[in-house]
């Protein structure tokens, strides 16, 4: 099977990448006067470029001219192609998004704020299938009429509407996706149907679209553990020594469902009444199995120790009598999001008044269960070098149940709920003036409620209990090809059967079988309910001049009153007591956008603005646990203030053809009130405590440049005029107190450099694309290394090594209605590598699936 897998992957990769050069020869039979038809990739690039060119702020866009034509499976992956955007990856697919280094991003759908319950304020972009999108706009500078909430920017997801089509429309896609490590094939299906009718003197339209995706996944991960300083390994020398190794193999299956509906009715040309509804469901059923080998404090065979040359960093050695655990984990997450909107828009000549009401509902649930086996390894040999570190066992048979004791059983549940009611009214009034062109104003009210209920269980047998009597709960590690079956790691050991842990009834049976007496219970000190009301209004003036160098733009201000009510609990000396907080504040957010038209093709944009992002709900939680005997406490902080940013932007843009452009942009952000975890002294009930909680910190700065462009080489002779290119590069420098309150550090998860380059081909029904995305190393965290009592800890930055990501696709139009496609993702099979300050102190390594997709798109 492995040989077949590699052959299939290699063949698909060569077919996709090599196809772009082969396409030129495939067109030799075409006529010399074969003209370029603006469809497919060209149509998408032309539309996206025109949106950027004519926008009233600094905006980048992605457009799909047909359903299923965005080049990526989820919205996050599509966004990585835009300059200034960096994404994190979650089990081989796009996860969270940062714009110009800031993760505080507001997501909207057709201009309306959306969210996913879960303790934060953002929307989980993984939840939204890309097939349902007509396009995505990324606002890097705000205008007064945009909803507040994103100091990084605003991502607006645009869905299709029935009156956007000329008449009846039926389109969709059917694909299969093969994941190389998971060795599974899963379906991706999408469809859209839309129609419009003449009704009396007006017209009416209805659109329905849906997407269903499954994805099996697997990640092989190994971590050498955080370092500690030890002086007992080599006499007279302190050695940075890893605290063991942790070896999870993670596999599972994800399902993503999206449904969108839209209704439009225009009784006459001046009135539109509309309704929209959306539903997104994301489910991830994940299993995890592996070894946890902590070596901290364990004796070392001194004759086996080696160091990296020229360092005090441990390279390899053998630890003695290491207590370890093997584990089986079931981790299931469920997101469900719903949005419903009704509204109307009335035109009065070139002016208009619009209003709409939106209701949203979201739930997020996590179920985590784990059962461990425990034993002692007589000898554990660790070698941290190489692409895959080594961790080998000697002196025990890990495949024998008699060599294990029962370890702890865990059950954790997180239940988040949220809903929102929002209404708005907006006016757009044209002004007949040589300078002022329009006045816009509006009001918006929103009430957002959210709650959190955690359930916890952790217990092990009261005394040492042999696992032999419970052999039916365990199995041999089912994956023998961990990291390609390398001989540097153990593969033959026992783990808990994960199918016994996911279902509540099955888990309860395990608890009773082992004889544990406690039961899962709500953790009352962490429960909270919050309600937030915002009332906002804005005024905006649009202006423009004519002459030798025309200038236009907008200036405005948005004013918002925020009222927050928090109902939670605090634990003092083991006693849980209710806690309530109420707060309110008013914010004024001015913005200005200016555009200078040097020529019809060359324009300069300048922008200045202020923006805010409110703290996450989990950070505002009043949960506070105090231990009077130790004078210690920890919790959230209901007194957190919003993050506020002053922003200045410039963008020079040159448009030399319908699909050709170049741009150079610079940006500066000064962010006030970064949130970090800090310890402070408080006196409560006469007792002085050191309390660890999130706190607003000092100001930080983010600055950088973006450069990019795109074009098709239309000046080349056929068939080479079908080739094109897209490329962009972003440099971001930051200094913020986001991690260490006393020092300025780069923003976490921010690469200084990132770039995208994509080669394109489209002609004669054949289209191809090869896209490479790269980001340089980035700071993923800070580790405090203890040097003993009375000595401040040594702060070690934890870096992730830079990596590239290669995707590719080929499509061929069999007819005007049917296109066959072949696509590949993660073709280089990225290997993630993280380390503590220096690569000679490795932390984690991981690999994810390559993905090969094949199928058809249709349009009738």
Q: Give the per-residue pLDDT at 4.
A: 37
Pull the structure tokens for residue 25. 């020869």
Q: Give the per-residue pLDDT at 38.
A: 44
Q: Where are the domains of the chain?
A: 2-859
Query: What CATH number does the domain located at 2-859 have?
Result: 2.40.170.20
List of residues 6+ apart from 400 with CB closer than 8 A: none
Q: Give the per-residue pLDDT at 520.
A: 94
State the pairing for strand pair 184-199/700-712.
Answer: unpaired
Report the alpha-carbon distance of residue 371 to residue 379 in Å, rounded: 24
How far is the CA of 160 from the CAs of 53, 166, 573, in angstroms?
21, 13, 56
Report the alpha-carbon distance of residue 786 to residue 784 in Å, rounded: 6
What are the residue ranges in the chain where pLDDT is below 70?
1-39, 65-71, 73, 628-630, 679-680, 737-744, 788-790, 792
How far is the CA of 278 from the CAs of 154, 192, 402, in angstroms?
20, 14, 54
Does residue 834 contact residue 843 with C-beta atoms inside 8 Å? yes
Q: Give the per-residue pLDDT at 65.
A: 62
Report the alpha-carbon distance of residue 188 to residue 67 in Å, rounded: 13
One-character DSSP codes across 732-751: EEEEB-SS-TTS-BPPTT-B
Consecutive H or E run containing 255:
strand 245-268
Pull the structure tokens for residue 85. 């955007």
Percentages helix, strand, coil for the chain (3-state, rounded to 5) are 10, 60, 30
Q: Which residues pair with 383 in a beta bridge?
A: 316, 390
Q: Give the per-residue pLDDT at 409.
A: 96
**Residue from 143, 121, 123 nearest 613 by CA:** 121
């Amino acid at each position: 099977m492995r040989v077949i897998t590699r052959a299939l992957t290699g063949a698909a990769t060569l077919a996709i990448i090599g196809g772009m050069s082969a396409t030129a020869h495939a067109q030799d039979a075409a006529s010399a006067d074969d003209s370029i038809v603006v469809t497919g990739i060209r149509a998408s690039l032309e539309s996206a470029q025109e949106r950027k060119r004519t926008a009233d702020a600094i905006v980048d866009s992605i457009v799909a001219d047909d359903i299923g034509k965005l080049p990526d499976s989820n919205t996050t992956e599509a966004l990585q192609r835009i300059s200034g955007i960096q994404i994190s990856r979650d089990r081989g697919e796009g996860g969270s998004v940062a714009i110009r280094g800031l993760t505080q991003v507001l997501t909207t759908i057709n201009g309306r704020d959306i969210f996913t319950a879960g303790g934060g304020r953002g929307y989980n972009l993984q939840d939204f299938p890309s097939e349902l999108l007509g396009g995505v706009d990324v606002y890097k500078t705000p205008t007064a009429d945009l909803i507040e909430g994103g100091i990084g920017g605003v991502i607006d997801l645009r869905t299709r509407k029935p009156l956007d089509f000329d008449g009846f429309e039926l389109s969709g896609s059917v694909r299969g996706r093969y994941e190389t490590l998971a060795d599974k094939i899963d379906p991706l299906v999408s469809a859209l149907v839309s129609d419009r009718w003449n009704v009396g003197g007006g017209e009416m339209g209805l659109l329905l679209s849906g997407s269903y995706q499954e994805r099996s996944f697997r990640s092989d991960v190994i971590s050498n553990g955080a370092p500690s300083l030890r002086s007992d390994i080599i006499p007279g020398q302190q050695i940075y020594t890893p605290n063991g190794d942790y070896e999870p193999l993670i596999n599972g299956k994800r399902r993503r469902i999206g449904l969108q509906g839209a209704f439009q009715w225009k009784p006459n040309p001046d009135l539109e009444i509309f309704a929209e509804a959306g539903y997104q469901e994301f489910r991830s059923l994940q299993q995890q199995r592996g070894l946890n080998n902590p070596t901290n404090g364990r004796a070392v065979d001194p004759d086996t120790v080696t160091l990296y040359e020229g360092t005090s960093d441990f390279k390899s050695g053998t630890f003695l009598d290491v207590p370890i655990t093997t584990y089986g984990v079931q981790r299931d997450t469920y997101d469900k999001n719903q949005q419903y909107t009704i509204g109307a828009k009335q035109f009065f000549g070139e002016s208009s008044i619009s209003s709409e009401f939106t209701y949203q509902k979201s739930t997020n649930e996590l179920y985590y269960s784990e059962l461990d086996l425990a034993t002692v390894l007589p000898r554990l040999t660790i070698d941290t070098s190489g692409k895959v570190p080594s961790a080998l066992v000697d002196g025990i048979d890990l495949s024998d149940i008699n060599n294990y004791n029962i370890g702890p059983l865990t059950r954790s549940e997180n239940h988040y709920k949220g809903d929102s009611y929002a209404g708005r009214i907006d006016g757009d009034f044209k002004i007949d003036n040589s300078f002022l062109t329009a006045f816009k104003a509006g009001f918006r009210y929103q009430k957002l409620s959210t709650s959190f209920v955690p359930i916890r269980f952790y217990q092990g047998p009261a005394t040492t209990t042999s696992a032999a009597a419970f052999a039916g709960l365990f199995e041999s590690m089912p994956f023998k090809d961990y990291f390609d079956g390398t001989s540097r790691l153990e593969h033959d050991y026992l783990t808990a059967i994960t199918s016994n842990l996911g279902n509540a009834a099955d888990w309860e049976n395990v608890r009773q079988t082992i004889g544990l007496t406690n039961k899962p219970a709500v953790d009352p000190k962490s429960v909270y309910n919050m309600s937030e009301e915002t009332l906002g209004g804005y005024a905006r003036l649009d202006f423009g001049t004519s002459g030798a160098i025309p200038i236009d733009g907008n200036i405005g201000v948005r004013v918002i009153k925020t009222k927050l009510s928090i109902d939670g609990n605090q634990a003092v000396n083991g006693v849980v007591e209710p806690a309530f907080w109420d707060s309110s504040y008013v914010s004024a957010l001015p913005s200005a956008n200016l555009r200078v038209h040097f020529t019809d093709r060359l324009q300069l944009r300048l922008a200045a603005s202020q923006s805010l992002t409110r703290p996450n709900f989990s950070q505002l939680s009043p949960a506070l646990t105090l231990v009077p005997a130790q004078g210690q406490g920890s919790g959230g902080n209901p007194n957190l203030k919003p993050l506020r940013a002053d922003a200045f932007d410039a963008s020079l843009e040159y448009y030399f053809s319908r699909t050709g452009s170049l741009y150079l942009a610079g940006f500066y952000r000064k962010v006030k009130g970064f949130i970090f975890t800090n310890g402070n002294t408080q006196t409560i009930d006469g007792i002085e405590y050191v309390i660890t909680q999130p706190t607003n910190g000092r100001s930080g700065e983010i600055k950088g440049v973006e450069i990019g462009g795109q074009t098709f080489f239309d000046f080349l002779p056929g068939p080479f005029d079908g080739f094109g290119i897209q490329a962009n590069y972003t440099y971001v420098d930051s200094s913020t107190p986001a991690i260490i309150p006393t020092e300025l550090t780069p923003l976490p998860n921010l690469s200084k450099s990132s770039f995208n380059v994509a080669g394109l081909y489209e002609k004669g029904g054949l289209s191809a694309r090869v896209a490479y995305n790269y980001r340089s190393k980035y700071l993923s965290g800070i580790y405090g290394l203890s040097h003993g009592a009375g000595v401040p800890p040594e702060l070690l930055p934890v870096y992730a090594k830079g990596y590239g990501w290669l995707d590719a696709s080929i499509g061929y139009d069999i007819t005007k209605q049917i296109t066959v496609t072949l696509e590949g993702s993660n073709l280089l099979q990225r290997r993630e590598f993280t380390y503590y300050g220096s690569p000679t102190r490795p932390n984690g390594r991981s690999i994810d699936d390559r993905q090969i997709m094949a199928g058809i798109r249709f349009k009738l």
